[in-house]
Chains A and B, each alone.
Chain A
């Protein structure tokens, strides 16, 4: 079975779903007009938003743990 050779999530996430993201980033760096500064800024936006989403979620869940220790 294909499943035994390569798990579905491996190609679904890294090949199919990743494709639009790879395309965007490659186009930012290779298309014209471009400047390295602006392309890097775009990547910085992506990375900082990923960090803020997950750090924000982590802080919310830690707040829940702190306020409601009895439920844990």
Chain B
């Protein structure tokens, strides 16, 4: 392993980021890593056992089978959590793309963490599609075989198409930008993974750096248009907003509403992961308080827009609505769970507003708590949105269906299980590639991109 701590002239001091900082997770593993890994594995395993019970007995164990045996709710926590995970996936790559397109250099150190959050969260969203189906073995064959016909009219198929494109564009973005880092940090990376690094840098030459930089810029542009406007502000809300039979779901406002929720939960996720990583790997001089505070302010802005769009829906639903929409809105605003979700967001907003007015109120720990509240609030709101829409349709086609919906233990375990799986994904990735871009270190050191030398093992 190289012991060189400098990437350029001048020599580092204690607060100057170095390449050693970003390869530290790949070289050292401490006890807390194993403890967190064991805990996450246990939680994930417990959920897999619970899911196995569902696979063995069918969706009936969740009351979501057929027409539902819970007041007609056939899409419950699973679909709410699916939307939540897609939302979290959102901000990641958008933040990274914004760094590249709009020169938001301050956030460059969190860009790759954000990209990885996109991949991890999207994988969990995809897993929820598998989990919520009664016959998961038919998913691929039915989607692929019927695609030429269904793509023209099915929002579900549009959804699958755009999620695939989004995931693939994100992975390509990550794959192309990693070539630069892997080639230059090669001697500091684990030798055991050399075959993987060989594949990742296949055909690399230094002359490609400028070309890749341009290609990635265009990719960032494509992603920043597709992700917010066409995925979470597009095909995901259209799964609901295009349904005339469900007044709680229908309407163009769902596009911006979904997008604001997505951005809120995504920034919250980035704040939590960045804060944990900076503590775990002593990255206080890279992921600075200033970066976390900036992210906290963005969190506040997106949460405020989320609340504002809730207001839009409530006022149009209570002033002079048509009958079914009025009934759906009345059910919504009299449900304690709805106000619980909104309350969590408002409490977090109160802190963000306070620290914006009085900077000494800000602490990273408080921002983490605010982020957890935001994530909890957005998850509850999304599940409630899905369930309430099904419980208050235009026509009571499920009228004879008994019961009311409450998530089963198996469904609730899926939340913990997927969070654990996403944690394990991150823990695995930080042992394979640097999660802070070498470009970010060069930028913080005031060096030009490409100033680090290529290394060969």
Contacts and interface: CB of A to CB of B under 8 A. Distances in A.
Contacts of B31: none
Given A28-B215, A42-B215, A46-B172, A57 B152 contact: no
Contact of B152 (A10, A38, A68, A71): A10
Interface size class of A (residues with CB under 8 A): 35 or more
- Chain A: interface secondary structure? helix
A2 interface: no
A21 B215 contact: no
B137 interface: yes
A24 B214 CA distance: 10
Contacts of B153: 7-9
Given A9-B151, A53-B164, A23 B222 contact: yes
Contact of B165 (A17, A23, A38): A17
Given A33-B210, A50-B168, A20 B221 contact: yes
A5 interface: no
A58 B142 CA distance: 11
Contacts of A16: 230
Given A13-B161, A45-B172, A46-B168, A71 B57 contact: yes
Contact of B211 (A20, A35, A50, A67): A35
A72 B208 CA distance: 51
Contacts of A60: 130
A20 B158 contact: no
Contacts of B234: 17
A23 B220 CA distance: 11
B56 interface: yes
Contacts of A27: 215, 218
Nearest to A55: B140
Nearest to B207: A35
Nearest to A7: B152
Given A7-B152, A49-B168, A57-B130, A20 B137 contact: no
B153 to A, nearest CB: 5
Contacts of A41: 203
A34 B210 CA distance: 9
Interface string A24-53: 100110011111011101100110011001
Interface string B28-39: 000000000000
B212 interface: yes
Nearest to A8: B153
A71 B58 contact: yes
B137 A62 contact: yes
A1 to B, nearest CB: 13
Nearest to B167: A53
Given A10-B152, A60-B130, 19 more contacts: A8-B153, A9-B151, A9-B155, A17-B158, A19-B225, A20-B230, A32-B214, A42-B176, A42-B219, A45-B171, A45-B172, A45-B175, A53-B164, A54-B164, A57-B140, A61-B130, A71-B55, A71-B58, A72-B135
Closest 5 pairs (CB-CB, A-B): A65-B137, A20-B222, A7-B152, A24-B222, A27-B218
Interface of B: 52, 55-58, 126, 130, 135-140, 144, 150-155, 157-158, 161-162, 164-165, 167-169, 171-172, 175-176, 203, 207-208, 210-212, 214-215, 218-219, 221-223, 225-226, 230, 234-235
27 contacts: A8-B152, A8-B153, A9-B155, A10-B151, A12-B158, A13-B158, A16-B230, A17-B165, A17-B226, A23-B222, A31-B214, A31-B218, A38-B211, A38-B212, A38-B215, A42-B215, A45-B171, A49-B168, A49-B175, A50-B168, A53-B164, A53-B167, A53-B168, A61-B137, A64-B55, A68-B55, A71-B58
